[in-house]
Chains A and B, each alone.
Chain A
Amino acid sequence: MKDKTIKTIKFFGLSFLEPLLRALSGEETQKNLASFIKKTLFPIASIFLFILVWHLGATALFNKEAEARIEKAKTEQGEEAAKAMADCIASGDVSCQPNTLPSPQQVYQAYIALWKDHLQISEKKSDFKEKVADTNAQREEQGLSPITYTGRPSFLDQIGTSLKTVAAGFLLALFIAVPIGIIIGLSDVLRNSFNWLIQILKPVSPVVWLLLVFMIVKTVITDPNMDKSFIISFISVGLCAMWATLVNTSLGVATVDKDYINVSKVLKLSIGKQIFKIILPASFPLIFTGLRITVSVAWMVLIAIELLAQSPGLGSFVWEEFQNGASDSNAKIIVAMFVIGIIGFLLDRIMLTVQNFMTFSKA
């Protein structure tokens, strides 16, 4: 039972809980507790250290900016104004707050505000749905498309959109890179012929991919009803992120253990069986490593691409907040930063789990 639990938590990448579990179950309590403290409590302590440093840094920056403002008021408008400015800053009035790195509390407040905003918008949305339910039913009978809510998306909606885009981009990368990787992996000639192209395209920046995709999509898709910005951003994400999978797949396929190939030859497997029963399973470890890199690259470039493509999502959220310049905009950007980081981490963990599940360990 205990061993099974430990196996399960390890499988999900939570192995840091193992010593605690062992200690709780009375197994070498002291040793395991010590190990738990070292492996788990210290990392937690480091979070507090991080917040402390951040807090100190933010305070220092705040003071510097505040002094600069007071100084400026003094030189431009005199003593009086400087004093008013100092009072204003001390009172916490939003109109005169220094605009700098937000402190941890501010970020936490921004997080709460975003959450409340989300609840509000969801409520509005469901109200709207109720209101138009009858009309939509009628419209459906007449064969018209339903009326949908077109209000401002909440932060959570933006996260959802981003995840959708990254998923679409990932699938695109998967369906392009894996088959091509297999084909060029199987043939030395093809691999050598296209290697230059892959090597050149691999380091191209997401921005350039975006522009390239934009040029093509603009011409190809003329239907105004189609969500062009979504299409552009997911294709760009896919194209940016697919290279790791392409290279790894072709490498994996090209370097299948000779023993396995000999087995397939001795058994006279057909080409199809040889690919699906021997070559693919043998290259799964490398393919999944590639896919894992693809997911993290996709998530990383997504933000930049959304930001540039003006397509909804976390990227445009960050950009809008930056341009908006409201008193809590900076704090919201930091919230977005953490959300992006945590989601990226979770995506990686999911891929790692899938990878562990799909790959054999060599005998």
Chain B
Amino acid sequence: MPILELKNVNKSYGTGTSKVDVLRNINLSVEEGEFVAIVGFSGSGKTTLINMINGLQFPDKGQVLLHGNPVNGPGPDRGVIFQNYSLLPWLSVFKNIKLSVDEAFPNLSKQEKEKHINKYIKMVNLSHATHKYPKELSGGMRQRVSVARALAMNPEILLMDEPLSALDALTRGTLQEEIIKIWSKDKKTAILITNDVDEGILMADRIIPLTPGPKATLGPEFKIDFKRPRDITEINKDPHYKRLRNDILEYLIEVGATRKQTSDQKYLLPDLKPVMPGRVFFGRKKKNEKVKYF
């Protein structure tokens, strides 16, 4: 049985004439231990989708099933990494993480908790900043705290809503590797929302595109079967990678373009000049030359 299942999920905001159908007919099934990436344009409803999985929002129609049971609210079995870190600015790194540890493991003794928290702070390489406040941290460090906070709850499923979008390319690369390293240790189920196809290819087992909204729905899935641990430079050289990447991008551009014709809503298409699909076949792409597509 899949650990997570979405069946014909529909979600809209507003009522009457201002009603917007954001998501329509979403079907998704995630097996235990799988790493699934959902790629989509901004504003298409990715956050809405992940919020229905973590229990902050509920579908209008359809079902979100966790182990076969409908989700009726948030729970410590699902760890969330929010799009904008959402650290509490009045709490230090340690206390931000402690807040979630207190809830997930209320029965641990004080020392055990402290050990547990410090373990996760160390895991994300922030031991030197244990007692710093969020404002004293860089964006990448904040996102690490957010990762540690979610992992410290020891959730069954890790839900990541564009965790790295706000970071610069270099920090992004390091954090991608770190998250994958942590994930591969105990192979939790993970769902990653992203707007970067390369990020999906590097991290996920499957990439599923979300078509642009309104009435966004999940497109055909792309299996990523590169062996783990994946090495970005190795993958970059693999012709299979380029084909895959092209396929995904082409699909996204196609649905983006159709969408543009059928709706009068203004949409900025990504500026794809630097690395057009097909042109990169023989060029060696440098790590920090990553291009943001959407």
Residue ranges of A at the interface with B (Cβ–Cβ < 8 Å): 259-260, 262-263, 265-269, 277-278, 281-282, 284, 360-363
Partner of A259, one of B55, B73, B82, B100: B82
List of B residues within 8 angstroms of A362 by Cβ: 89, 135
CB pair B103 A268 closer than 8 Å: yes
Known contacts A262-B56, A362-B89; is A269 also within 8 Å of B142 by CB? no
List of A residues within 8 angstroms of B91 by Cβ: 281
The A-contacting residues of B in range 101-156, CB under 8 angstroms, are: 103, 133-135, 137, 142
Partner of B76, one of A259, A262, A268, A277: A268
CB pair B90 A360 closer than 8 Å: yes
How far apart sit A363 and B139, CA to CA, in the bound complex (Å)? 10
Q: Which residue of B lies closest to A258 (CB)?
A: B86
Q: In this complex, which of A266, A269, A278 has the most chain B Cβ atoms within 10 angstroms of its Cβ? A: A266
CB pair A267 B103 closer than 8 Å: yes
CB pair B135 A363 closer than 8 Å: yes
How far apart sit A262 and B88, CA to CA, in the bound complex (Å)? 11
List of B residues within 8 angstroms of A278 by Cβ: 88
B80 lies within 8 A of chain A by Cβ: yes
Closest CB of chain B to A35's CB: distance in Å? 27
User: How many residues of chain B are within 8 Å of chain A by beta carbon?
Assistant: 26
Scan B77-95; emit 1 where CB is below 8 A from any A CB, else 0: 0101010111111110000
How far apart sit A94 and B173, CA to CA, in the bound complex (Å)? 87
How far apart sit A42 and B248, CA to CA, in the bound complex (Å)? 67
Known contacts A277-B99, A362-B135, A363-B142; is A265 also within 8 Å of B74 by CB? yes
Partner of A262, one of B82, B89, B135: B82
B195 lies within 8 A of chain A by Cβ: no
List of B residues within 8 angstroms of A259 by Cβ: 82, 84, 86
How far apart sit A347 and B82, CA to CA, in the bound complex (Å)? 42
Scan B38-79; emit 1 where CB is below 8 A from any A CB, else 0: 000000000000000011100000000000000001111010
CB pair B90 A266 closer than 8 Å: no
How far apart sit A12 and B131, CA to CA, in the bound complex (Å)? 25
Main secondary structure of the interface of B (DSSP, over half): loop
Closest CB of chain A to B112's CB: distance in Å? 19
* A–B Cβ pairs within 8 angstroms, 27 of them: A259-B86, A260-B86, A262-B56, A262-B82, A262-B86, A263-B82, A265-B56, A265-B74, A266-B74, A267-B76, A267-B99, A268-B75, A277-B99, A278-B88, A281-B88, A281-B91, A282-B88, A282-B90, A360-B90, A361-B135, A362-B89, A362-B135, A363-B87, A363-B89, A363-B133, A363-B134, A363-B135
How far apart sit A260 and B137, CA to CA, in the bound complex (Å)? 18
How far apart sit A277 and B142, CA to CA, in the bound complex (Å)? 20
List of B residues within 8 angstroms of A263 by Cβ: 82, 86, 88, 99
The A-contacting residues of B in range 253-285, CB under 8 angstroms, are: none
Please list the 10 inter-chain residue pairs (A to B) with the smallest Cβ-Cβ separation, ordered nearest first: A363-B134, A360-B90, A259-B86, A281-B90, A360-B89, A363-B135, A266-B74, A267-B103, A363-B89, A266-B80
Q: Which residue of B lies closest to A277 (CB)?
A: B99
How far apart sit A198 and B186, CA to CA, in the bound complex (Å)? 56
List of B residues within 8 angstroms of A267 by Cβ: 74, 76, 99-100, 103
List of A residues within 8 angstroms of B75 by Cβ: 268
CB pair B90 A269 closer than 8 Å: no
Closest CB of chain A to B104's CB: distance in Å? 8
List of B residues within 8 angstroms of A268 by Cβ: 73-76, 103
Q: In this complex, which of B55, B82, B90, B133 has the most chain A Cβ atoms within 10 angstroms of its Cβ? A: B90
Q: Which residue of B lies closest to A257 (CB)?
A: B86
List of B residues within 8 angstroms of A360 by Cβ: 89-90, 133, 135
List of B residues within 8 angstroms of A266 by Cβ: 54-56, 74, 78, 80
Q: Which residue of A lies closest to B150 (CB)?
A: A266
List of B residues within 8 angstroms of A277 by Cβ: 99
List of A residues within 8 angstroms of B85 by Cβ: 363
Q: Which residue of B lies closest to A362 (CB)?
A: B89
Q: Other than the known A266-B78, A281-B91, what 19 A-B pairs have Cβ atoms closer than 8 Å? A: A259-B82, A262-B86, A263-B82, A265-B56, A266-B54, A266-B80, A267-B103, A268-B75, A268-B103, A269-B99, A282-B88, A284-B90, A360-B89, A361-B135, A362-B89, A362-B135, A363-B133, A363-B135, A363-B137
How far apart sit A360 and B76, CA to CA, in the bound complex (Å)? 28
How far apart sit A284 and B80, CA to CA, in the bound complex (Å)? 26
How far apart sit A263 and B96, CA to CA, in the bound complex (Å)? 10
How far apart sit A259 and B276, CA to CA, in the bound complex (Å)? 37
List of A residues within 8 angstroms of B103 by Cβ: 267-269
Q: In this complex, which of B56, B74, B87, B89 has the most chain A Cβ atoms within 10 angstroms of its Cβ? A: B89
List of A residues within 8 angstroms of B100 by Cβ: 267
List of A residues within 8 angstroms of B55 by Cβ: 265-266
How far apart sit A281 and B73, CA to CA, in the bound complex (Å)? 25
How far apart sit A78 and B152, CA to CA, in the bound complex (Å)? 99
List of A residues within 8 angstroms of B88 by Cβ: 260, 263, 278, 281-282
Closest CB of chain A to B91's CB: distance in Å? 8
How far apart sit A362 and B87, CA to CA, in the bound complex (Å)? 10
Closest CB of chain B to A245's CB: distance in Å? 20
How far apart sit A278 and B80, CA to CA, in the bound complex (Å)? 17
Closest CB of chain A to B21's CB: distance in Å? 22
How far apart sit A262 and B48, CA to CA, in the bound complex (Å)? 13
Closest CB of chain B to A65's CB: distance in Å? 60
How far apart sit A239 and B92, CA to CA, in the bound complex (Å)? 37
Q: Which residue of B lies closest to A259 (CB)?
A: B86
How far apart sit A269 and B102, CA to CA, in the bound complex (Å)? 10
How far apart sit A363 and B166, CA to CA, in the bound complex (Å)? 14
List of A residues within 8 angstroms of B54 by Cβ: 266
List of A residues within 8 angstroms of B142 by Cβ: 363
